Chains A and B, each alone.
Chain A
Amino acid sequence: MNKYLAIIKDSFREALASRVLWLLLVLITLLLLVLAPLGYHEVVTWRLGDNDVRGWEQLMHKVRTDGKKDEPSPSRRIFTLLDDKLQERLVKVKLPGIDEDARGPFEFMGVANDFRKSLNQAIEQPDFYDETSFTKVPLLSDELRELKETGPETLDASEVGRFNRLLMEASFPELVRGSPPTSIQLKYGWWEFFDPIPLRRATLQEWLQTGASFVMTWFVGAIGVLVAILVTSPIVPQMFDPGSLHLLLSKPISRWLLFLAKFCGGCAFICICASYLVTGLWLILGVRFGVWDPKLLLGIPIYLFVFAIYYSVSALFGVVYRSPIVCIVLTILFWGVCFLVGFAKITFENTIWSSSQITRVFDADDSLIAVNELGVAHVWNEANREWREIFTTQQQKQSRGILIAAPELRNMMQPLGPIYDQKHERLISAPVASPRPGMRDRALTVGSRSDDWEPRSENSMPTGSQALFRESDGEILLVSSVGLFRLTGDPLEKKRPVKLFGIQLPLQTAGPFENISPPDTNATVLTPPSTAALNRSNGTLALYTRGHLTLLARDDQGNYEVSAETRLDGEERQPVVMAIGGSTILLGRQDGRVQALDAATFEEQMSINPEGPNQVRFINSSPDGRWFAVLLHNGNLWMYDAEAKSLALAPIAGQGGISCATFSESGQLYIADQAVRVTAYELPDFTRQHRYSPSLGIWMRAYRYGLLPLYTIFPKPGELGTTFEYFMSGKETQATGSSEENLSASQRDLDPWAPLWSSALFMFVVLGIACVYIEWQEF
């Protein structure tokens, strides 16, 4: 063994003698020196940044509209605090998505910028709070209540800012994002740059992990590997120089072990560079950001592994062709092919495959309707064995391309529903709350069976739609951020927009919806993150908003009354996934916990992390309330039995690829897997009743039978960055930026193990071929 260690030691010696290594080390040192002054400090969160308001144009519109009214309100208070010139500009400016004759964005952006500055100046002042203006604002936040109880006049400067910021959040819950008490102010040396970022320290750590993963993937994984291949490619061909090789082969050593030792030695070069860079980054994160995470050092072996995959190919070419130039060219070609195959697969998976994935299935009398990741509904056609697209609005058609290409936008642009209105034999969908500027279609959409589900819509919606339910008596219930509404009128009755002084007013009218919010309570005012669930057995409505869970019981007249309230453990701003059935509330928590609570007493019946930090995406309860289908983001389905109070992995095929698990009215469990296949199971035995398996289209076939096998046999060095992310976070899926407030939004699949084992297998085969070749070849 000493002989082979000598070869490895020689490679280290060779690496240390290389000028390129020292050049790389100098470059890495420069990079670390550039990064070293980066740091942060925590500041109280009060300032409103660009991203802290979901729609500046809506806030400006609200302020200018209410500013003209006599009735005191937060909007009016803000308007009065603006100087005369800005008030005038605010009234005159054409707001995109609101004013029909809005011109280019530049005018709006100029006013919006000044408005933001003035607003920040206002909320910094102690006189921002005026009791009469804010009297109707529900103080849901514990922090806000505490500050108010302390007395606004006794607060110091930073507390005043914080108090006013919380007032803004409470006054405009659908527009102003909730914020943590402290934010992260980034700095470079003594220079503070960017607005403070509303992040908790724990979130900062996640961000830094993502940042480290980015650096690992691109700086180290791509650029670093290419440089490393250029530098190390001569090592194996040089070994075949006759004057060197014959002497080596005359020594009492094994040829294939000689080759493997040379290979390992080549990795030594990279080991030195990677260790230096990653240890340097780790020290900077530790010293400057206080993140002493030893898992970051896993970047060294992972990067080494990425390099080893390419280097094994380079070494094989080196053995066969004995030319460094050929090695470099063929290895870079191989890198390109790997990149293309990986890119094609990820692109296809994130677009065509994931957009086709069924996320909801429900019965519409004798029809089975499935809704995919884009929110597009399909009805099952048994004769043709296909899902036929129905109920697609013009807006959905127009935005389909964008949603396919940008999965992170799906959560924001998908409509609520559709749900089936059995009484009128129609599908109903509602626009999701807070559309982006430019999305003018905010109508309730209705499609009747008699019209072959053709969608029709009129402007008649309460703002801030959160959830649509069909109540036990068949009525349609809309939960919005401002209250509960029941569909009582004709949703297709056309209403003209209300204008005042030529300005279109926001649609505060409920249209065909009747406001049935219980009086004298703020329980139905929802501030993100929020969610709602309906108990199909007794009609109880569960509302969650910012750490508060409220149950509303339905009386015989159909009115809802608050029956119980509680505060969930953990942070206020955490999103949850929730279902209520029978006497159980089942919650999926951000930390991966599944928590069962008694629906009457909130007593905890079970709390378990089924798969570590992997989060729950959907929870659905059976109509009788006994079964809860708990679907994780990684595609694994767990079943909670409320009678036995136990959670277990569902004994069905397709685990890991399940995209939907829901119950029919009759209690059958519908499972969607392989993107478009739905299977109906009978509980409790999970007996398969029926399978809705359409024939695959050409793209799906190309993916499944062409790209996927190719991808499986190819190594995936480019994806080891996701493995690194997995080791850092422990999660098999990663939330995208827009889905952090909504656990049900689709997440990026990290798939940590596939790149590891397939790359290792590939490397093993390539090295094996090289070993056999070198053992049998005559030199």
Chain B
Amino acid sequence: MPNNAAIVVTDLAKSYRSGLLRRRFEALRGVSLQVERGEIFGLLGPNGAGKTTLIKVLLGIVRRSGGSASLLGKPAGDRAGRMKVGYLPENLRIAPHHTALTAMEYYGRLSGLPWSEIKSERLRLLESVGLADRSRESVRKFSKGMLQRLGLAQALLHDPELLILDEPTDGLDPVGRSHVRNVLTRLKEQGKTIFLNSHILQEVELICDRVAILDRGLVKVVGDVQDLSAHQSEGVELELVVAASEASVRQSLGSRDIAACQPHRDGTIRVVLQLPDQTAVDQCIDDLRAGGISIVGLSRRRVTLEDTFLKLFADTPEIVQSS
């Protein structure tokens, strides 16, 4: 049965030779992942993890050394496959003789679009990324964020089935990021598949359905964002602000794992506890109240993707596979 996924990567390997001695460097060492149609997939990893190399292999910019990769059912690099892909590279540079309109015309033509279609679509797209009012200005005057938005618009011009975005919010201000998030959400609603590579983990967490984390050419984790957070969380971290002396607090908590206990100037004390589960949380509150301690504030900290990411690279060498 044919695989209907947008991207299928199996045991993908890529090695380069560089330097005077032509030393071999393995950028990808058997990467396997699958991006389903209609989902937003995030690719994470530290610098040198192989994220950009993976994108280059998918687009045929470099040849793979081993394994296989396909885009929309076509082998990676195939021209027919690339027809249906929109790409926004990292550090996009558009020749300074262009205006936003002529750049859209140029890249639209390269994507095989007829002039009539380019003409009817380019202003609408520039409007959607907030550049309509500066469409006739030379890109020489554009900020990095504006160039990114123009790059996103050109990637969308030929109505691609799959969008590959390399750091799409890089250089954007908060408003610009929100703009791009909205565009991507709209595209998801239209059933487009989005494969994005970003350093901004909060962005990925907000937008992506699934992520893969790469490290030194290997997939460390691939899976649903929520599942990954849940998987990485071990117990509950509880933060309390209480009105009592430190000694009475410690006495009421007994042998519980106190991560922090800091007195404040206003006489309250901030206590951070590491508890195994919700029952332990309930018991802890009961004990404090039983000890006559007044609870001023209480919050339970959530485990973010960033926590998961940092934890992974702090102490988990092995690959974790989660669906």
Contact = CB atoms under 8 A, between A and B. Distances in A.
A244 interface: yes
A670 B249 CA distance: 127
Contacts of A244: 92-95
A14 to B, nearest CB: 5
A10 interface: yes
Nearest to B59: A250
A17 B88 CA distance: 25
B87 interface: yes
A83 to B, nearest CB: 73
Q: How large is the interface on B (under 10, 10 to 19, 20 to 34, 35 or more residues)?
A: 35 or more
B95 A6 contact: no
Q: How large is the interface on A (under 10, 10 to 19, 20 to 34, 35 or more residues)?
A: 20 to 34
A519 interface: no
B106 A251 contact: no
B110 A248 contact: yes
B97 A14 contact: yes
A251 B94 contact: no
Contact of A10 (B63, B83, B106): B106
A243 B90 contact: yes
Nearest to B83: A252
B319 interface: no
A3 B90 contact: no
A249 B114 CA distance: 20
Interface in A239-272: 241-244, 246-254
Given A14-B95, A779-B62, A247 B89 contact: yes
A249 B112 contact: no
A250 B93 CA distance: 14
Contacts of A248: 110
Contacts of B111: 251-252
Interface in B162-191: 164
Given A6-B106, A243-B91, A246-B61, A252 B112 contact: yes
B89 A242 contact: yes
Contacts of A10: 95, 106
Nearest to A15: B97
Interface string B272-306: 00000000000000000000000000000000000
Nearest to A235: B95
A253 B110 contact: yes
Given A13-B97, A246-B56, A251 B102 contact: no
Nearest to B84: A252
A2 B117 CA distance: 14
Interface-centre pick from B93, B98, B105 (highest chain A CB count, 10 A): B93
B60 interface: yes
A241 B89 CA distance: 12
B82 interface: yes
Interface string A1-41: 01101110010011011100000000000000000000000
Interface string A63-79: 00000000000000000
A250 B62 contact: no
A253 B105 CA distance: 16
Contact of B110 (A3, A13, A14, A778): A3
A238 B96 CA distance: 11
6 tightest Cβ-Cβ pairs between the two chains A and B:
A6-B109, A243-B93, A17-B97, A250-B87, A251-B110, A778-B62
11 contacts: A3-B110, A10-B106, A13-B97, A246-B56, A246-B61, A246-B89, A247-B151, A247-B154, A248-B110, A250-B85, A252-B83
